[in-house]
Structure 1
Amino acid sequence: MSISARLRCITVDVTGTLIAYKGELGDYYCMAAKSVGLPCPDYKSVHEGFKLAYKDMAKKYPCFGHAAKMPNIVWWKTCVRDSFRRAGYDYDEETFEKVFKRIYSSFGSSAPYTIFPDSQPFLRWVRKKGLTVGIVSNAEYRYKDVILPALGLNQGSEWDFGVFSGLEGVEKPDPRIYELALEKAGNIAPEQVLHIGDSIRKDYMPAKSLGMHALLLDRFKTPDAEEWRKSGAAVVPDLVAAQEWLSSEKFIY
């Protein structure tokens, strides 16, 4: 039985699955600081400060402030300011505005990201098979409108619909984000959908809980992958292997 007969839709995670971050957070914070004549902030301090600031903002204002109707730029400005302060850098308002503008612009472009070479061919192969492709991501609106298209992942040629947490107000691992995907795919049955991602908690388990098929990618050879396999999850190293898996008898309907 062909893949098109088994499935009607494949949904795909973004970061770690289709694209990856390029360089370190400190690289972009450093460039922003140097652009206004300041020395580079300490990489480690900024990285740790950002992790804490991001976690705090995600808890207070989840989905990039969706429920609070907080503009995306305000969410990020608050997060970045807190990142610097936690790292020991308390710039005056005028200086911070200039630094933040550079950071916000950088992360709203394709500059900090790289696309895996197998991403575009895989998505086009799936669509050529007659399947619908959906993006399911804990990401803000700029991924949909700017970042993915800038990386060559366009709606209409590589994917058909997207479910982005910053636009929908729900995020993984909440199964409701997958329910939205099923609706956008045309209210199709969960067993006719395969979700591909790189997190057992955010991708595999919530998708399976709804009755969808799921496949995990282990692009970076994480030590957790062995536990994923022991739990019964299907794990492949990349989307080339995912295509082979989908085309073989290993895919059990």
Structure 2
Amino acid sequence: MSLLSKLRCITVDVTGTLLAYKGELGDYYCMAAKAVGLPCPDYKRMHEGFKTAYANMAKLYPCFGHAANMPNIDWWRTCVKDSFIKAGYDYDDETFEKVFRRIYSTFGSSAPYSVFPDSQPFMRWARKNGLIVGVVSNAEYRYQDVILPALGLNKGSEWDFGVFSGLVGVEKPDPKIYEIALEMAGNIAPEEVLHVGDSLRKDYLPARSVGMNALLLDRFKTPDAENWRQSGATVFPDLVAVQDWLTKADQILAGQQAQ
């Protein structure tokens, strides 16, 4: 009996699993600044400024301001403004708004992202084989409504439901986000679900804690992968390998190895 016959649902992470960022953050901030006649900000300072600003906003207003009823655009406006300030660029309000609108628009489109070539085929294969496919991501609503569809990953053809932190108000590694996924899949048993992600802390461990099966992708040959294996996780290089593994007979589900 193959693993496929034991499952009713597969859930997948987004960034690092289905898609990746193209280029560097500084590329897009530079293009936005130059578009309004400003010099290109320093890439390194901009990257560090963004990391700090994003961490602060995520702490103050988690899930993109969900609990505070903060509009998504306002959350990002504050985050981007603080990113520039921490990088040493304090523009006047009118100039900043012009820069920000370009950045916000860019990251709400397909432009900064590339889909891994095996993502769409894997999701379609899973659905063709009768599995419910869900997306579980620490992402804002535009991933569901704009970004994934613009990248050719559409609800109804590649996935059936999405659990996005900005919409449900819960984010990884909180196990509740996986409990929500189980509910949205039709309240199916966790042992009938396999989660695929790229983070031991955010994907594998919390999914396992609610009884789901889980495995990890190591698309970028990260040194952390060895630690993942030592922690009991099954690790694959891509979704092609996952598909092959799922169709082989007499396998043991990844999550069940830790039971």
Partner of 1:25: 25
**What TM-score comes out, normalization by structure 1 length?**
0.99
SS at match of 2:216: strand
Indicate conservation of the 8 Å contact 2:134/2:163, yes or no: yes
Q: Which amino acid aligns with 1:126?
A: A
Q: Work out whether 1:121 is the aligned partner of 2:113.
A: no
Q: Structure 2: state its 5+ residue gaps.
A: 254-259
State the distance in 2 between where 1:3 and 1:94 align. Answer: 57
1:3-152 map, 5 Å? 3-152=3-152
Deviation at 1:4, TM superposition (A): 4.1
State the distance in 2 between where 1:165 and 1:231 align. Answer: 26
Deviation at 1:231, TM superposition (A): 1.6
Q: Which amino acid aligns with 2:241?
A: A
Aligned residues: 253
Deviation larger for 104-113 or 1-10: 1-10
Indicate conservation of the 8 Å contact 1:120/1:158, yes or no: yes
Deviation at 1:247, TM superposition (A): 1.2
State the distance in 1 between where 2:251 and 2:64 align. Answer: 36
SS at match of 2:76: helix
Identity of aligned residues (%): 79
Q: Which amino acid aligns with 2:160?
A: D
Deviation at 1:230, TM superposition (A): 1.4
Partner of 2:181: 181
Partner of 1:197: 197
Q: What RMSD, in angstroms, separates the aligned Cα atoms of the two structures?
A: 0.9
1:220-249 superposed Cα distances (whole Å, 9 cap, x missing partner): 000010111112110000000110111124
SS at match of 1:39: coil
Indicate conservation of the 8 Å contact 1:106/1:112, yes or no: yes
State the distance in 1 between where 2:247 and 2:103 align. Answer: 42
Partner of 2:257: none
Indicate conservation of the 8 Å contact 1:4/1:130, yes or no: no
Indicate conservation of the 8 Å contact 1:7/1:131, yes or no: yes
Q: Which amino acid aligns with 1:80?
A: V
1:194-233 map, 5 Å? 194-233=194-233
State the distance in 2 between where 1:177 and 1:50 align. Answer: 26
Q: Work out whether 1:161 is the aligned partner of 2:158.
A: no
State the distance in 1 between where 2:128 and 2:231 align. Answer: 32
SS at match of 2:37: coil
Partner of 2:256: none
Q: Structure 1: state its 5+ residue gaps.
A: none
